[in-house]
Amino acid sequence: MPYSLLPPVVKTLLIANGLMFVLELMLGPQIIVGLALWPLSATTPPIFEPMQPHFQIFQLVTYSFLHGSILHLLLNMYGLWLFGSRMENTWGSRRFIIYYFVCVLGAGMTQLLVSTMSGDYYPTIGASGGVFGILLAFGMWYPNQVLMLVFPPIPLKAKWFVTIFAAIELWAGVTGSEAGVAHFAHLGGMFFGFLLILYWYKHPSNFK
């Protein structure tokens, strides 16, 4: 099969996320109330109080199609395309979509755990959990692939890029230095992705 710059699953996810962002602009807070990931026991933020949002099981998937800003959307979609296209071409579409949504679900469950423990009751949105999982897979499959960083503009092998990125996310999550960002959800996406890759490695007959 020839290499595709825009394989089908990545293409579909890009379109779906773009369309959902348009709906967010049209519907405003209503779509966040229904489809964002809400904590298991939520104390509703004032802006959402009249609508009484609460956790629903389907939010573990739908939250990943919502984004807080055009920059948030573009960064996630760029990462999805840049690393996701390579992994979908490597694995095939079926394995890729399974992996992506395992990371999304893992990130969501991690965020539910963290929000329950911390008492922070705000909705979670964004495809970052899935994208971070894809980044981990890229680093494991192509550890010596050289990536050029934007800032600082230096070349770095993928295995070190992933390691540094994960360390930054852990530091930011523990210190709470970047409020409003679900750092542990990002790490959860990477962790669940790692578990699935480990399972495939130990059960190669299921890696089809």
What's the token pair of residue 13?
A: 């996810």
In SS3 terms, 65-120 reads as HCCCCHHHHHHHHHHHHHHHHHHHHHHCHHHHHHHHHHHHHHHHHHHHHHHHHHCC
| Cβ atoms 184, 112 nearer than 8 A | no
Fold observed for domain 8-206 = Rhomboid-like fold (1.20.1540)
What's the token pair of residue 54?
A: 């609460």
112-158 pLDDT, tens digit per residue, is 998 888 777 788 999 999 999 999 999 999 999 998 776 667 888 99
Rounded-to-integer distance, Cα 144 and Cα 194, Å: 18
* Number of residues that this document lists for the chain: 208
18-76 pLDDT, tens digit per residue, is 999 999 999 988 898 889 999 886 555 555 555 667 888 999 999 999 999 999 999 99
Rounded-to-integer distance, Cα 74 and Cα 80, Å: 10
pLDDT for res 156: 86
CA atoms within 13 A on the CB side of 152: 2
What is the domain partition of the chain in residue ranges?
8-206
Q: Is the pLDDT of residue 208 over 60?
A: yes
Neighbour tally for 181: CB within 10 Å? 17
Any idea which residue has 């960083």 for tokens? 149
75-98 pLDDT, tens digit per residue, is 999 999 999 999 999 999 999 999
